[in-house]
Structure 1
Amino acid sequence: MNGTALTGGDPTLLRRLNTEAVLRVLRTPHPMTLTQIGKAAGLSRQTVDVVIDELAEGGWIEEVAPEKTVGRPARRYRFRAEGRHVLGIDIGVTGASYALADLDGTVLASSRVETPADGTAGDRLEAVRLGGASLLADRPDVRLGGLALGVPAIVDAHGLIRLSTPLPEWNGLDLAAEASTWFDCPAHVENDANLAALAEHWRGAARDSTDFIQLIAGRRSGAGMMLGGRLHRGRGGAAGEIGALDVLGWESEAIDAIRNAPDPAALLADARTGDKAAAGRVDRYARVVAQGLAAMILTVNPDLVVIGGGLSRAGEAVTGPIRTHLDRICLDPPEVVASELGTEAVSLGAVRLALEHLNARLFGSHSTSSGGLLPSPVPPGAAGTGALGPRPCAEVPR
């Protein structure tokens, strides 16, 4: 048989690899028979029987009703994406948004809470925690396997906030360590623009792009990059912080005239319908934004710029002027498009990040951030905790 089943060597490793092969095959929307699983995974029927029994016992898969057929129907199985969940949190200056998802990344519930504008660092932390606890309290069936938080900050590789201008009281805060105590599961922290890029690459406007720049355009500006299909964070997590250059004017009056307008959407709409004053303000805004983007574009030569954040809902009214200015100042201007995910991009990117870390912890490998479904995590009982590291934070329901 020309398959992938292995013999000899460390039995724990072989068991894990065989379980991995079965789980990969079962990550489809359609139930499969034992014969189909064995053929697709390249495993013998005997090996598949053993793996299936272990996965079913652990609650990772379940047998489904047989198809109507003549004779004895073949047993069919499906992967239980609802067997574990992740929580993505987008933390801003005025509030936090939440997305609860299953192992397929399907968002099952979402919510938003306001956070104290003049409270202490602890007050904001507690408000964010309570918002998550409230969402989870409404879903007693949830078994949380991890969470990720997006913040407007430079974040190091361990989840410590190195610098946040919008949230200065959190500078130096080990947010990952703090959040890991909330719901008895690991927490991961990333810059919000980076998470927006991750989401757009996964399910948004950058699905077919491997090199692109993500701009958050709203009450604040921020940028992230994905190069070669992976987030580019830089040495200390500060890649994309082009707004730190005062000479570019990302904190200038031209920017504030749009993002602090009483109704930015109405202003953009007026500009599109020929209002000269509104068009002038939008053009000045687009020129300043384009100057910052151009500094990044001329360095990495991406094929796409995605405009996200609240202003992305204006579509061509905001992307058009930015595109015009980039065409004038870039040697090889990329395509400029509006986000397909809007203000949900950061929380969805946090979901994706939490899934990747859960996958790495349980499955023993990292996702390539290719935009497809994540490989299924291997349940701890399938290979022993020695091969897979520590046990997950919540048991799969049996």
Structure 2
Amino acid sequence: MSAAPDLAGVELGGTKMFVLRARGREIVERVMIPTTTPAETLGAGAALLRRWHEAAPFEALGIASFGPLRLDRAAADFGHMLPTPKPGWTGADIYGALAGVLPCPATIDTDVNGAALAEMRWGAGAEGEEAEGGGPSDCLCYITIGTGLGAGFALHGEPLHGAMHPELGHILTRRAPGDAFAGVCPFHGDCIEGLVSGPALAERFGVPGDLIAADDPRWDNVAHDMAQMVGTILLTMAARQVLIGGGVGVGRADLLDRVRAKVVAQLAGYLPFVTEDTIGAIVRPPALGDQAGPLGAVALAMDALADASWR
């Protein structure tokens, strides 16, 4: 049996970046770097990767970054940050700054696509018996709800791309009757991110969502909006699992129960695989917990190593 490969991973978030070393899927070292300016943050990450590689060479690098990102390898700005509300980061060359210091295969994707890939291979999607129909999952969605709302999809073992990557946070959903909350998205107002993200909850409630009691009736509108999002995913992608993570998703099991009930009610029996008996296995927290993100970078590194066309 061949030894597990030595891999490098970077999980770049809006407030912090993790640079990690892994042996196979086992993370053996991880360093946190605050996300400040691109030059400072990416420069520190690149220096660490170079130092580690000189001591023990890496076989591949996976970069899982917040977006939006240019992921078309034929584009002149491949691996760059597209227009983003994060000050100073529009146009930043994420891929070039990090992959450029290592003479090994490398790839980049969104952090949520990476997390979806990790969950499909090693988490909820690999649990088999809980997936509708049995066996490993062939279609899975990973959602993180916190400062914003991001979603990634893993389909038949690969992250989903098209013209770019999914931007589920900005879909428009049918509002709950009588809900007049305007939303907080600077682009769209009441898109799903503008309705249920952490800042949206603080605006709805007047205080952060984690200070609101579980039985507060105002959660009904939040659950309605989240259920609209989940229903859209199930109707368009026929996903076997919709994993809801992040501070809003993981921190409130009571909210997920409300969402599950509303998904079943809103779909009204149209999807035969979504029932009161199955919804608990379909809409659930990530099986990998807070390790889905870093393991997403590892999964991307493994894909880079397996892909002979990396350069």
TM-score under structure 2 length normalisation: 0.74
Which of 143, 146, 152 is equivalent to 2:66? 152
Contact 1:212 1:303 in 2 (8 A): yes
Q: Which has the larger radius of gyration?
A: 1
Equivalent positions of 1:20-39 (< 5 A) are: 26=1
Question: Which residue number corresponds to residue 125 of structure 1?
Answer: 42
Q: 1:315 to 1:111 in 2, by over 3 A?
A: farther
CA distance in 2, matches of 1:309, 1:214: 10
Per-residue deviation, 1:166? 4.4
Question: Which residue number corresponds to residue 327 of structure 1?
Answer: 264
Question: Which residue number corresponds to residue 129 of structure 2?
Answer: none
Structure 2 spans left out of the alignment, 5+ residues = 127-135, 173-187
Instruction: Give deviations 1:240-280, integer Å, cap 9, x for gaps.
Output: 4342543753233553244789875x447x41xx4x2xxx3
Q: 1:293 to 1:181 in 2, by over 3 A?
A: same
Instruction: Give deviations 1:151-191, integer Å, cap 9, x for gaps.
Output: 22133132423525243633334422222223343432101
Q: 1:228 to 1:355 in 2, by over 3 A?
A: closer
Greater helix fraction, Structure 1 or Structure 2: 1
Question: Which residue number corresponds to residue 176 of structure 2?
Answer: none
Question: Which residue number corresponds to residue 360 of structure 1?
Answer: 307
CA distance in 2, matches of 1:160, 1:220: 21
Contact 2:117 2:157 in 1 (8 A): no
Per-residue deviation, 1:343? 2.7
Q: 1:126 to 1:259 in 2, by over 3 A?
A: farther
Q: Alignment partner of 2:7: what SS?
A: strand
Question: Which residue number corresponds to residue 177 of structure 1?
Answer: 96
Paired residues, number: 269
Instruction: Give deviations 1:16-64, integer Å, cap 9, x for gaps.
Output: xxxxxxxxxx2xxxxxxxxxxxxxxxxxxxxxxxxxxxxxxxxxxxxxx
Q: 1:285 to 1:100 in 2, by over 3 A?
A: farther
Contact 2:6 2:58 in 1 (8 A): yes
CA distance in 2, matches of 1:161, 1:285: 34
Contact 2:20 2:30 in 1 (8 A): yes
Which of 29, 37, 49 is equivalent to 1:109? 29
CA distance in 1, matches of 2:85, 2:22: 28
Question: Which residue number corresponds to residue 249 of structure 1?
Answer: 191
Structure 1 spans left out of the alignment, 5+ residues = 1-25, 27-78, 365-388, 391-398
Question: Which residue number corresponds to residue 253 of structure 2?
Answer: 316
RMSD: 3.1
Report 1 or 2 for greater relative contact order, CA contacts < 8 Å, sequence distance ≥ 6.
2
Question: Which residue number corresponds to residue 29 of structure 1?
Answer: none
Equivalent positions of 1:295-314 (< 5 A) are: 295-314=232-251
CA distance in 2, matches of 1:131, 1:95: 15
Question: Which residue number corresponds to residue 95 of structure 1?
Answer: 16
Question: Which residue number corresponds to residue 199 of structure 1?
Answer: 118
Which of 60, 80, 84 is equivalent to 2:3? 80
TM-score under structure 1 length normalisation: 0.59
Q: 1:100 to 1:318 in 2, by over 3 A?
A: farther
Per-residue deviation, 1:132? 4.5
Per-residue deviation, 1:353? 1.0
Instruction: Give deviations 1:173-225, integer Å, cap 9, x for gaps.
Output: 44222222233434321011111100111211221311222111222211122
Instruction: Give deviations 1:81-105, integer Å, cap 9, x for gaps.
Output: 2xx4111211111111233211x32
Q: What percentage of aligned pairs have identical amino acids?
A: 24
Per-residue deviation, 1:295? 2.3
Question: Which residue number corresponds to residue 227 of structure 2?
Answer: 290
Question: Which residue number corresponds to residue 131 of structure 2?
Answer: none
Q: 1:85 to 1:225 in 2, by over 3 A?
A: same
Q: Alignment partner of 2:193: what SS?
A: coil
Contact 1:254 1:281 in 2 (8 A): no
Question: Which residue number corresponds to residue 17 of structure 1?
Answer: none
CA distance in 1, matches of 2:255, 2:194: 18
CA distance in 2, matches of 1:298, 1:162: 30
CA distance in 1, matches of 2:251, 2:93: 36
Corresponding letter in the other structure for 1:190: D
Corresponding letter in the other structure for 1:214: Y
Structure 1 segments of 4+ aligned residues over 4 angstroms from their partners:
130-134, 259-264
Contact 1:306 1:337 in 2 (8 A): yes
CA distance in 1, matches of 2:305, 2:29: 19
Q: 1:101 to 1:343 in 2, by over 3 A?
A: same
Instruction: Give deviations 1:335-361, integer Å, cap 9, x for gaps.
Output: 201012223212211111111211223
Q: 1:218 to 1:254 in 2, by over 3 A?
A: closer
CA distance in 1, matches of 2:192, 2:236: 18
Corresponding letter in the other structure for 1:185: C
